[in-house]
Structure 1
């Protein structure tokens, strides 16, 4: 495992010869554990829905692992990037943010699926970083309680738009014509 006491940049991370995934927060590394099958079913269901909905738009959906350098542009040297995340699912509507190897800047929508080991990180650290970066919409999906918390950005702050339960249909704040039936998302295989 990399030395956790040093300050890491994205350039350092990109040169690691490990198969593990790490996120960087202000130069500190955090390992992201492999997701569970339930987690992956939820991500797959959501990504399939967004893929179908966005087919003829300028927006694209991406699923983990993909690095998102929230506070960088394509012109930012990799050794100047101290924050990067690997969200479970993102939607990007500005193709200038899509690089050959990573995403630069704030995606329009980020979805994180909670797990016991990442829940606090998703709810606090990532929540505030995504808010500060200007992510328009953030979803926190709880597979245990089968809920989706939706947050929309207004006046540079996230405000909870709504809490959805497993038997409801959800509509993204940024895509008002996109309807997602949560029973299909939370139904175990």
Structure 2
């Protein structure tokens, strides 16, 4: 199958059969292409993943970095042709081993980090924000590499509430992993 037409809706099963280069995400069957990340983006995701990985060594939760498909509103039993929402978050933490499939993640991760780029910022702040909220992601970080900030949102009463804006010289205690403290000076080079 060829690359998608912007005016049509697709399923995750369709996506798996495309002859594609690049990464694609789907929201209610509408497909978006996400460009390759920049070196700055990759430095940040690598630093965050190393810090989380180190912290989670003796913990039941696992950290994953892109590219890994997350089928937000699905379980392992959901037929692939019924899945219409899938994303490739920059970094996720999953604490329920039943959500980790052999090829993808099923359901909402506990924790999601998206690193903004000019071409994806609107998608990360609006479309993904709403989808992650609706799916039940417990904590969502939006990292801005230009302004060296991290916005932290926590799910409270089924809605994301911003609990802080952190800067390069701050430390963040992850809400879903309170014993995990991330020093942002180690994240922003």
Structure 2's unaligned 5+ residue stretches are none
What is the Cα deviation at residue 92 of structure 1?
Answer: 0.1
Matched position secondary structure for 2:59? coil
What is the Cα deviation at residue 2 of structure 1?
Answer: 2.1
Structure 1's unaligned 5+ residue stretches are none
Aligned residues: 187
- Once residues 184 and 59 of structure 2 are traced to their aligned partners in structure 1, the CA distance between those partners, rounded to angstroms, is 23
Per-residue CA deviations over 1:18-39 (Å, capped at 9, x if unaligned) read 1221000111110010000000
| Match of residue 116, structure 2, among 98, 109, 114 | 114
Matched position secondary structure for 1:177? coil
Matched, 1:169 2:171: yes
Matched position secondary structure for 1:186? coil
- Once residues 121 and 5 of structure 2 are traced to their aligned partners in structure 1, the CA distance between those partners, rounded to angstroms, is 24
Q: Aligned-pair RMSD on alpha carbons?
A: 0.7
Q: How does 1:150-165 map to 2 (within 5 A)?
A: 150-165=152-167
Per-residue CA deviations over 1:107-157 (Å, capped at 9, x if unaligned) read 000000000000011001100100000000000000000000000001000
TM-score by length of 2: 0.97
| Match of residue 59, structure 1, among 39, 53, 61 | 61
Displaced runs of 4 or more, over 3 A: none
